[in-house]
Amino acid sequence: MLGVEHTVIESVDLESDGRGGEVLIARVRPKAGVASRCSRCQRRCPGYDSGAKPRRWRSLDLGSTQVFLQATTCRVNCPEHGVVVAAVPWARPGSRFTTAFEDTCAWLVCHATLSVVAILLRVAWRSVSDIVTRVIAARSEASDRLAGLRRIGIDEISYRKGQRYLLVVTDHDTGRLVWAGKDRTGATLRQFFDDLGPERAAALTHVSADGAEFIHTVVAERAPRAVLCLDAFHVVAWATKALDEVRRALAAQLRRTGRAGQATTIKKTRWALLKNPPELTSDQRTTLAAIAKDNGALYRAYLLKEQLRMIFQAELPEAKALLAGWISWARRSRIPAFIRLAKTITRFQTLILNAVEHHLSNARSEATNTHLRLLTRRAYGYHSPESLIAMADLTRGGLCPPLPGRS
């Protein structure tokens, strides 16, 4: 019932909690085979001294009754770590909660806010935060999330106002978050490659990213054998932004020349221009037909956006021809926003074709970013990047523990 192993239960008693209720106290001790071990390396060590007072560890409740394990601890003299408190089989080092309690708490944090978990388990929310930190540290030591990486996606996400960003790395093969760091800089990305190591960096075959130059520079420097692919979503987003710039410029021009009604009509065409053709409603299709008839420049901008999107749906030989044709058309379009975009696309032409050839995008990274935004909104924001990174590792990094007693 207590969910502990390698433990001798000496007695179980009910005691007053001082608030009119009762708590269950189980007096325990480690079995001889696991006693007198270093809490850092689990090596059997000679004893150093014994504690004067017994300690208590909070365990999972039995019904509505709080449960504590009570034991007298000792210190051992480890040849490697010096004098440390001896390990106990029911709790992690430095914790006053049992392993089962901490695993349950960490699992609940993946599905509810810290404040809700704190109320449910009757602990302070700071204790919940400390538990999450310990669980992540323990499970990170038990597994190497950077092992076996072949295809990764690199992206950044804003976690707070004021240009506060995280850099996240996702494994394309498993969909898991494998690394996250503070700030979107080359130094942050180099820290990831330092953690990865030169041998595992050399094993990378594909890297997907957006148009951030610092990512391209560091990847070329640290993983020169990897094929760098430019994410299709970001490329089409550039075209979408250019199209919206054309629409807003046209509306402003109409407003300046006294045609406020037409300017309002153009302003309302935003979603008809931005949505993918299969998703258009009948009214939006009618709006596009009117644009094609009355606003040639705006309609050309729309067609340029759509042709750029179609490049990523074609096979490589056709995509090469489409991309070359698109660059030529954009340069001759007499639309300043797309002339500028043509220069950008020309610079990234090889990376775009890599994405088409290898069918790689940052979709898994964007899914991770969406999850992190949900975590941020659920917590009403995070004051420090370390807190968000811990939650990201727990929920998206494969470090969430199973519930105790479940297979």
Contact 169/192 with Cβ under 8 angstroms?
yes
Least confident piece of the model among 11-15, 191-195, 257-261, 332-336: 257-261
Greatest extent of the chain over all pairs of C-alpha atoms, in Å:
91
164, pLDDT greater than 90: no
Q: How far is CA 152 from CA 177, 208, 358, 381, in A?
A: 10, 6, 13, 27
Q: Do residues 350 and 379 both lie within one domain?
A: no
Confidence of residue 3 (pLDDT cuts 50, 70, 90): confident
pLDDT, tens digit, for every residue of 100-121? 999 999 999 999 988 899 999 9
Q: Do residues 163 and 201 both lie within one domain?
A: yes
Q: Do residues 251 and 347 both lie within one domain?
A: yes
373: containing domain: 151-231+361-392
405, pLDDT greater than 90: no
Q: Do residues 348 and 369 both lie within one domain?
A: no
Assess if residue 136 is contained within a domain: no
CATH number at residue 188: 3.30.420.10
Q: Do residues 72 and 211 both lie within one domain?
A: no
Residue 164 phi/psi, 5-degree rounding, is: -95, 120
pLDDT, tens digit, for every residue of 283-332? 989 988 988 888 888 999 999 999 999 999 999 999 999 999 999 999 99
pLDDT, tens digit, for every residue of 165-183? 999 999 999 999 999 999 9
What angle separates helix 213-222 from helix 186-196, to the nearest 10 degrees? Answer: 30
Q: How far is CA 31 from CA 24, 100, 289, in A?
A: 21, 18, 80
Assess if residue 46 is contained within a domain: yes
Q: Do residues 180 and 263 both lie within one domain?
A: no
Q: Do residues 166 and 238 both lie within one domain?
A: no
Question: Of 90, 112, 138, which closes a domain?
Answer: 90
Assess if residue 19 is contained within a domain: yes
How high is the pLDDT of residue 263?
Answer: 86
pTM value is: 0.84
Question: Of 70, 90, 110, which closes a domain?
Answer: 90
d(CA 60, CA 101): 5
d(CA 95, CA 102): 9
Residue 196 CA neighbour count, 13 Å, CB half? 25
Q: Do residues 185 and 248 both lie within one domain?
A: no
d(CA 209, CA 207): 7
Residue with tokens 């850099």: 167
Assess if residue 177 is contained within a domain: yes
Assess if residue 368 is contained within a domain: yes
Confidence of residue 22 (pLDDT cuts 50, 70, 90): very high
Q: Do residues 156 and 246 both lie within one domain?
A: no
- Per-chain mean pLDDT for the chain: 92
Q: Do residues 366 and 223 both lie within one domain?
A: yes
Q: Do residues 213 and 304 both lie within one domain?
A: no
Short-list 266, 267, 270, 337, CA closest to 308:
337
Residue 269 phi/psi, 5-degree rounding, is: -90, 5
338-354 average pLDDT score: 96
Assess if residue 98 is contained within a domain: no
118-132 average pLDDT score: 92
Confidence of residue 186 (pLDDT cuts 50, 70, 90): very high
Alpha-helical (H) ranges within 24-180 are 99-109, 114-121, 125-142
Q: Do residues 236 and 354 both lie within one domain?
A: yes
Least confident piece of the model among 6-10, 51-55, 301-305: 51-55
Short-list 59, 52, 49, CA closest to 28:
59
Assess if residue 23 is contained within a domain: yes
Domain count, the chain: 3
How high is the pLDDT of residue 407?
Answer: 63
Assess if residue 139 is contained within a domain: no
